Amino acid sequence: MSYQVILISEEKLKAFTAINDNVRVEDIQPQVIIAQDLYLQPQLGTKFFTSLKDAVYNSTLSADEITLLEEYIAPTLLHRALVLALPFIKYRIVDKGVLSGTSETATQTTLDELQYLISKVEATAEFYAQRLREFLLDNPGMFTDYENPGTDGMYPTRRPAYTSTLVIPARKGSGTYKYYDGYEGYDNCFCESGLTESN
C-alpha cells in the first residue's frame, strides 16, 4: 500500500480533544500517523489494520466497520495522537535547534506540568483502548481479519490496555520475590487473604 490513510479527521481531533483550532494540522498529522502504527496496529493486528485502511481509501467500509471506526477507534486514536503531539506542540525542532513556544498573553507550562497533562490524556486513551479491545472480544466473527490475522505482520494483542510502571513484588515462601507484569491472566491476583496463584 503506497498511500497513507489517516483514520480520524483534523476536525474530529480538534472537536473532541483540548487541541485549539489555531494549531496547524501539519503539527498534528505526523503524530496521528505514528499513533496509528504504534498503538492501533498492535491492537487490531496488521492484517485487519491494513484492510481497514484499504476500505477507508476505497470507500468500501461495511456498517460494522463504520461503527468500529466512529465509536471505538476514533476516541482511542484521538487521545493517543494527542499524547504524542503534546511535547511537539510545546517544543519545535527547527534549523537553529529545539525551541519552546512563547506567547505574549499566556504563561509557559513547566516540564512537570506538561508531564502531568500527558499522563491525564494517556489515562483517557487507555480507557478508550480498553473499550475498543472489549468490543472486539465481545463480538467474535464480526471482523474476520481480526479473528484470523495470519502470520504476516503483527498479531493483535488481546491483553488489557491499561499499563503501569509500578511493579508489585509478591513474597514467596523463601523470602524471594516473584514479579508479575499484569499480563499472565486473571487467575494471578492479590486477594485479601494473600497471593493466589493457579499456575
pLDDT at 131: 95
Dihedral angle, C-alpha 69, 71, 74, 80, nearest 10 °: -130
User: How many beta carbons lie within 10 A of that of residue 128, not counting itself?
Assistant: 19
What amino acid occupies position 14?
K
Residue 188: its pLDDT value, please?
39
Most confident listed range (25-29, 59-63, 82-86, 190-194): 59-63
Q: Average pLDDT for residues 101-106, to the nearest whole number? A: 60
The torsion angles phi and psi of 92, rounded to 5 degrees, stand at -120, 140
The yes-or-no verdict on residue 168 having pLDDT over 60 is: no
If you average pLDDT over residues 106-130, what whole number do you get? Answer: 88
Structure confidence at residue 102 (pLDDT): 61
Burial 173-191 (b: 16+ CB within 10 A, else e): eeeeeeeeeeeeeeebeee
Nearest to 17 by CA among 5, 32, 30, 38: 32
Q: Domain residues of the chain, as ranges?
A: 10-147, 164-199
Question: Over the stretch 134-167, which tens digit does the pLDDT of each residue have?
Answer: 999 999 999 999 998 888 888 888 776 555 555 5
Can you give the C-alpha Rg of the chain in angstroms? 20
pLDDT in tens, 36-45: 999 999 999 9
Distance CA 64, CA 115 (A): 37
